[in-house]
Chains A and B, each alone.
Chain A
């Protein structure tokens, strides 16, 4: 069970995503932004960070990286892909997911342990949760406000594609408290909070995040 973790220049949580895959019992495979080859992995994580410094618009340059060519094709073909934070931004820029992430409404970077509600436990990355289950994972970003037009938002909600929602104070002004969404098929998921930082006791607020990774491992094994 091999899960690719892409490193762009400026990726920061790539080692953490790889560690989370190991904690879940999978084998992490390092994928390089400049290499247009997925090396036969069974799933891919786009990790957090500031790809290419994010000086233009978050994720706007990363979507053109050579590795994104085969990745976009594979995702459209059903390969499970998880975009965390910057990875979520890259997925939106690559049009694998609708909408966009903008500057937090507070105008400040925010790092905190965030309560979330799992709204859809039917995706490739959330199958091990219960619908409506509340979990806590770290949130840390400056541009995490999820925005989309009303029609898109209605569509996402109507089709059960809002995967996780913020509970309590909305930390960044995301429309309808949306923390993460999926594509129609449920194999591509993007979220701003960092489940990879909640997979090990002591080194995070708990281990709620681990099940994002065990979900995909189980799904791939039974597929």
Chain B
């Protein structure tokens, strides 16, 4: 029989499976307290998914507040919608706004790589769509186990095919991202996905149910039995090797349904009849109904038996927990129903009135006329438990930091430097990513001005003026492991710098905070440090965090992943045709290295590839230098002073030279004397140090004076380190020379050779 509210009130002693659903005894007790009785099985299902770590942010909330507190009024100026909505919205000028967010889909992608990754893309795109925006691009941040581990290929093939299969079929260009291999991600790969959308200011929509008597409509795909408990038993628990398969908790995606849903939603927005809109993602109907009612300060009455099902045998609690994809919920006025159904009909999208907005501040859900849920919506959506988890700096960090990579044996001769450069260029993380990125459509929609392998993806938003945005996401997990506060700032600095190298003014930040278990005080300390570092860094750089996602429980048994706060920075350009690529096209240009090189090798790609070493402290953070460097790059792009700009990060100057030469097959002569003399470092350090706040630029001869004058005026260190030429080789004078063919043969084939054709 159905567990109705009346039945629950009369049977207080029935044992309920709160533990299997991921709730603690205390949390279960609190639900009973709120309701003044035991919850029905449907109510228990709702609370269990909405109070999960993934949905409620119960362990992170107290830390995330800093992002709001450290956002100044000046930073808020361009912010139309901040943290808390489906995605943040930023004013980019001329009446245009963009909305963007990065989210995790880690655990599903390990259990079922293709569908996990595919629905990760689908979910973030719907978040963007729900703000009233047309999604215009996606990016993906992927971290896998060791490149040579037997299980890695399974995950790589599935995830890459899933990201591509969904995104390509959806018609959104993939304009960049990250692919990183490290044994710490072996049992817990990271699959993060970012989407960005564009809208006119007046098209902004919110997920609030308002207007008593208004209709609540569920539209899109039918509800099935997939993804039940995805946010709770899958996303909010640590994997162990003995447990049952969690594959049924992974959703199954249908990109065609989502493509049609996008066009249908945009036509609905254009008709002006949408009062409120919300996508169905994590926690499905439980989330959409409770959040919309809570946001609107209203109540809602939903007839659960009217929800169209793929599987007619689903029970009420399963319908409430299902995370079936490609579904949206809208609130409209009754008199607009005809228009609404005409539009959904045109796109062959199934739409059903499942309830209405009420004025009584209760979310009431019935199942064949019996009440199975009767709760205050706020208690489900916004008043979940909040934990101040204990945190403590792990004692072993001192030992780790004392073991500096600067003490490792290093190459000394020109031949040794040459061999080192080639080995690094061919390594798992520095080699060409094209085997992955060539599986993604970067052209569709016709507005991509720049995509991978350039430092930042650039898309046009306004076809008449050329106004557009640049995006980059970065994180070096090794740096964060060594020093979470500064490591997180280095991630921010790198993404900020990459956006500036493209010529865009950095405007706003999104983050996806991937960490181990919050129940481990050491992990919680990493989290607190990283959030504080990021919030402080954003304040210094004047770019607000607009939203993002926290993913905990990324660990295998007791071993957490490297703390991996992926940071995405969005910048704006008046005219994207002025964007600066990361490689030079012409011979005869002057190469300048901007910034100071220090002996900073700890956590570097060199230490990892050559010595399998991780220890010491990461490169120094200088956000003031990053800011000035950013201004120089943006001005240089606007005034046409540079033809190429490449950020120096993983692999240092050596890797930047490799990538910039191979981008358009134009070589370079490089001399290091000025840098080694000025900065007091040797040639090896000049080539492989990963000091931050540095960029390599190619300057046309005719602009050299203006460019160096600008650097001088801003007192920013700059040194001429070479010229581009058509010799077909990369020469570091006095050290070595490598033909571009040999360089390409080292750099290009690694991933293709490892993973297939």
Measured CB to CB, the residues of A under 8 A from B are 9-10, 12-13, 15-16, 19, 48-50, 52-55, 106-112, 138, 140, 142, 194, 196-197, 200-204
Closest to B256 in A: A53
Complex Cα distance, B445 from A55, in Å, reads 22
Q: Shortest CB–CB separation between residue A53 and chain B, in angstroms?
A: 3
B window 235-259: CB within 8 A of A? 254-257, 259
Quick one: CB contact mask for B433-462 with A, threshold 8 Å, 1 for yes? Answer: 000011111111111110000000000100
Closest to B170 in A: A12
Given contacts A19-B446, A202-B576, contact A140 B260 (CB under 8 A): no
**Contact (Cβ within 8 A) A50 B438:** no
Complex Cα distance, B438 from A142, in Å, reads 11
Which of B254, B260, B348, B446 has its CB near the most chain A CB atoms (within 10 A)? B446
Query: Does any Cβ of A come within 8 Å of B757's Cβ?
Result: yes
Query: Does any Cβ of A come within 8 Å of B169's Cβ?
Result: yes
Q: Shortest CB–CB separation between residue B254 and chain A, in angstroms?
A: 7
Complex Cα distance, B489 from A114, in Å, reads 40
Closest to A55 in B: B256
Measured CB to CB, the residues of B under 8 A from A are 161, 164-165, 168-171, 254-257, 259-260, 347-348, 437-449, 460, 463, 576-577, 579, 756-757
Q: Shortest CB–CB separation between residue B503 and chain A, in angstroms?
A: 12
**Contact (Cβ within 8 A) A203 B444:** no
**Contact (Cβ within 8 A) A12 B444:** yes
- Which residues of A lie under 8 Å from residue B170 when comparing CB positions? 12
**Contact (Cβ within 8 A) B347 A204:** no
Given contacts A15-B446, A16-B444, contact A112 B256 (CB under 8 A): no
**Contact (Cβ within 8 A) A111 B440:** yes
**Contact (Cβ within 8 A) B256 A10:** yes
- Which residues of B lie under 8 Å from residue A138 when comparing CB positions? 443
**Contact (Cβ within 8 A) B260 A9:** yes
With A9-B256, A110-B439, A197-B446 already in contact, 18 other A-B pairs whose C-beta atoms are closer than 8 Å:
A10-B169, A10-B260, A12-B444, A13-B446, A19-B446, A19-B463, A49-B171, A53-B255, A106-B756, A107-B757, A109-B164, A109-B441, A110-B438, A111-B437, A196-B446, A202-B579, A203-B460, A204-B443
Complex Cα distance, B161 from A108, in Å, reads 8
**Contact (Cβ within 8 A) A50 B441:** no
Complex Cα distance, B446 from A197, in Å, reads 6
- Which residues of B lie under 8 Å from residue A12 when comparing CB positions? 169-171, 259, 444
Given contacts A109-B168, A110-B438, contact A194 B443 (CB under 8 A): yes
**Contact (Cβ within 8 A) A109 B444:** no
The 7 A-B residue pairs with the shortest CB-CB distance, nearest first, are A53-B256, A12-B171, A16-B446, A106-B757, A197-B443, A50-B169, A202-B577
Q: Shortest CB–CB separation between residue A86 and chain B, in angstroms?
A: 11
Complex Cα distance, B449 from A142, in Å, reads 23
Complex Cα distance, B348 from A124, in Å, reads 35
Of the A-B pairs whose beta carbons lie under 8 Å apart in the complex, a sample of 24, sorted by A's number, is A10-B169, A10-B259, A10-B260, A16-B444, A16-B446, A48-B444, A49-B171, A50-B256, A53-B169, A53-B255, A53-B256, A108-B756, A109-B164, A109-B165, A109-B168, A111-B440, A138-B443, A140-B441, A140-B443, A196-B446, A197-B446, A203-B447, A203-B460, A204-B443
Q: Shortest CB–CB separation between residue B171 and chain A, in angstroms?
A: 3
- Which residues of B lie under 8 Å from residue A194 when comparing CB positions? 443
**Contact (Cβ within 8 A) A203 B441:** no
**Contact (Cβ within 8 A) A15 B445:** yes
- Which residues of B lie under 8 Å from residue A15 when comparing CB positions? 445-446
Q: Shortest CB–CB separation between residue A122 and chain B, in angstroms?
A: 28
- Which residues of B lie under 8 Å from residue A112 when comparing CB positions? 438
**Contact (Cβ within 8 A) A52 B445:** no
Closest to A19 in B: B446
Complex Cα distance, B756 from A58, in Å, reads 25
Q: Shortest CB–CB separation between residue B167 and chain A, in angstroms?
A: 10
- Which residues of B lie under 8 Å from residue A55 when comparing CB positions? 256
Q: Shortest CB–CB separation between residue B126 and chain A, in angstroms?
A: 17
- Which residues of A lie under 8 Å from residue B444 when comparing CB positions? 12-13, 16, 48, 140
Given contacts A109-B439, A110-B438, A111-B443, contact A203 B449 (CB under 8 A): yes
Complex Cα distance, B136 from A12, in Å, reads 12
Complex Cα distance, B445 from A196, in Å, reads 10
Closest to A108 in B: B439
Q: Shortest CB–CB separation between residue B261 and chain A, in angstroms?
A: 11
- Which residues of B lie under 8 Å from residue A9 when comparing CB positions? 256, 259-260, 347-348
Q: Shortest CB–CB separation between residue B497 and chain A, in angstroms?
A: 23
Closest to B442 in A: A111
